[in-house]
Structure 1
């Protein structure tokens, strides 16, 4: 009764799991890859890093252009101050304003700006390769996970088929057991076997759910997805390329190698940029300025008149007043625009900055950039070494899977025939349940191994294609 209850509960939970799975959207491999490229967060991070490099590149390119800056201000001054129009000290409320336009252009600085621009361009190209590498790795991971889901589905079907076979035998022995005509030990053996088969289904379903979770994480779609059951037929033919050929092709086209190579070239330009700090910098500058003051006045001539000076001259002991001719003026404010036009002044010149001593900053910067260059070279060599190791491992695993596939096919055929014979003998009472269960488990294990090695071969072939930039 406990076993019956367990089996009923197990099948109920299986129905619920399938009901939940059926609500997901079944997608093809191509659809999964498209969604992953659109929604995967790691790929988006790589693209954002590339955008930052693009902005840095534009900034370094724009740095080759001259700097042109304008300024304007207006203010109110109270108390003692200097009149910007006359440069006299005044003690009154004063409205002042000035404007200017300045140009600064670097003529030569040891090619620092040009090398910085080239360095930024190489960094941008490296970032583009990083995005391509991230995209290809994403495609590979989606493909491998998709195949693992298919493998898990095959294992679930195998486990369910084993359970049905065991259940059929248990139903046959049940009537004999109830009639007390059969061997009760064999009935109990089959009860134990059906519990094991049910547990295997639970385990394979858990594996399937785990792989589906991994696939949904990679795709990162708004709606949960699944993979429609698919019987995967593959042609197991001798692989056409050697491991060395795959590696040499990968050195030419693999984005990670290209990105490391570009990073090394950028580090070499960084050394040149640092060395430019030893070289004098020549620049051209020019300025245009003007100003306004509310204290500025325009004096208009109104004519002349004779006025007493207050002084006297004595002629023959008689005092005579001294008169003089005096010009009269009428003051008026000078308009704002007129002052700006009249007060224009310009300045142009060439500046030379010669580095004499800067606390060995230039020397240390060059030394640091050389270390970074050595690090970039080491990173490139490490990338190549890791790539070669990965190619050799994948190639060996592919070759092993290819060899094991033929052997396991023969094993499955042999165990299928053995199980067929033992099932007939068991049904006719010639053999016992122990021999039947051993034969059945041998066949089950062989079928599982064959399914695993089939997908292992497909996975390794995909990995080798990934290294050759063929995904």
Structure 2
């Protein structure tokens, strides 16, 4: 039984290891990288949060059109001399008091400040939404370029390893000849130096690949290990001539790029900020209403409890006899007024119209208008500068694309020529007809041409995707 349990544990361990190996060796597609980056990238998350804040500000600016309604309530105790809120008379005793109120205020006119504020916040919200799209498109481009860089680095590493293998085989052949005493020692040592050079190229190519993978992981914002077996699925190779001119790309960019739309909306928001600042010169008209009541522990009402006859202190004389003057007085006893009765009996209301006229505020309104005008001009310059930089960037990217395209086709012919030359020199060197200098020269020419061709191929693909990004694709 114990042996059976150990056997099951071993099988489960091997099964889990197999699953992990399959998971780690599964190809990493461009689509997966894009999905992960769009979900995890911090810059994109920040742009979305900013857009959320702009949306809240816009909704609040619309809510500011509604009247303001506020209630108040307080309850307290005073000792010593104070004013009775019920009778407005002075008291010198312990007093419990309470007040309650309801205030309504609505702006009727304030120079359209609220309307201009709503427009400004709406433009700001739409600009933030465009900036989210811009961040998303930029991230997609960066992920695609980083992925292409990995494929290029992987291709260069593959070529470097192939060169190392080829050189190693030649070195082994020369070592056999050298051991047999029929080979040239200089050829053997030169080939050793070439092998060391090829190994160094492998190390540098592997380091470049690892750096490219780290850049991709940074954009994806993931701590998971990124496998090295990338696939070109989702990346259609583009080596045909690019059909669009720089001017066509620029016109498409003006119509589709979110960054330009965002700058235009920021300029519209700045224009409305100037109008908001100018509203400070215009009187504000509002209506208000109030409902108030109060309570005092000293408040009481007098209740009739009977009558009594008392002397007034005056006398009347009748036949020389003085009689005191009497009067009948009604007796009253004080009773406290309940809390609810006081709140009901002491209700008071008020309605009215308020006008606030700006006369002088230390030139604050004028300076605010001047500052908003400066910000508006800054937004205008930002838009113009972005448009200018966009035209220059598109022109440069188009020139780089054409240069890479021309280099790719020229280098393709060069590689074919150097490969044919190397095949001849390799046969001649193996047969002892040519020397090692000719062999290494031919080999290095072919290897360098292949490297240049791979770089030109991927550079052309990069430039095409940059131009497609400008076109909004």
Give the alignment's TM-score, normalised by structure 2. Answer: 0.93
Q: CA deviation at 1:51?
A: 1.8
Instruction: Give yes or no for the alignment of 1:286 onto 2:283.
Output: no
Q: CA deviation at 1:416?
A: 0.4
Correspondence for 1:60? 61
Q: Which runs of 4+ in 1 moved over 6 A?
A: none
Correspondence for 1:38? 39
**Structure 1 260/151 Cα, relative in aligned 2: closer, same or farther at 3 Å?**
same
Q: CA deviation at 1:314?
A: 2.9
Instruction: Give yes or no for the alignment of 1:151 onto 2:152.
Output: yes
Residues 8-53 of structure 1 deviation map (CA, whole Å, 9 limit, x = unaligned): xxxxxxxxxxxx9x95874210110111111111111111221222
Correspondence for 2:16? none
Shifted more, 232-241 versus 260-269: the winner is 232-241
Mapped partners of 2:374, 2:431: distance in 1: 81
Mapped partners of 2:133, 2:278: distance in 1: 33
Mapped partners of 2:288, 2:467: distance in 1: 60
Q: CA deviation at 1:233?
A: 7.0
**Structure 1 307/66 Cα, relative in aligned 2: closer, same or farther at 3 Å?**
same
Instruction: Give yes or no for the alignment of 1:216 onto 2:217.
Output: yes
The gaps in structure 2 that reach 5 residues or longer are 1-20
Mapped partners of 1:230, 1:425: distance in 2: 39
Correspondence for 2:465? 462
Correspondence for 1:15? none
Contact 1:395-1:460 at 8 Å conserved across structures: yes
Mapped partners of 2:25, 2:141: distance in 1: 23
Mapped partners of 1:161, 1:155: distance in 2: 10
Q: CA deviation at 1:362?
A: 1.5
Mapped partners of 2:148, 2:339: distance in 1: 80
Correspondence for 1:168? 169
Q: What is the SS of the residue equivalent to 2:294?
A: strand
**Structure 1 235/71 Cα, relative in aligned 2: closer, same or farther at 3 Å?**
closer
Contact 1:84-1:293 at 8 Å conserved across structures: yes
The gaps in structure 1 that reach 5 residues or longer are 1-19
Q: What is the SS of the residue equivalent to 1:226?
A: coil
Correspondence for 2:18? none
Instruction: Give yes or no for the alignment of 1:378 onto 2:381.
Output: yes
**Structure 1 227/133 Cα, relative in aligned 2: closer, same or farther at 3 Å?**
farther
Mapped partners of 2:333, 2:401: distance in 1: 105
Number of equivalenced pairs: 450
Correspondence for 1:319? 322
Mapped partners of 1:124, 1:348: distance in 2: 38
Instruction: Give yes or no for the alignment of 1:334 onto 2:343.
Output: no
Contact 1:84-1:96 at 8 Å conserved across structures: yes
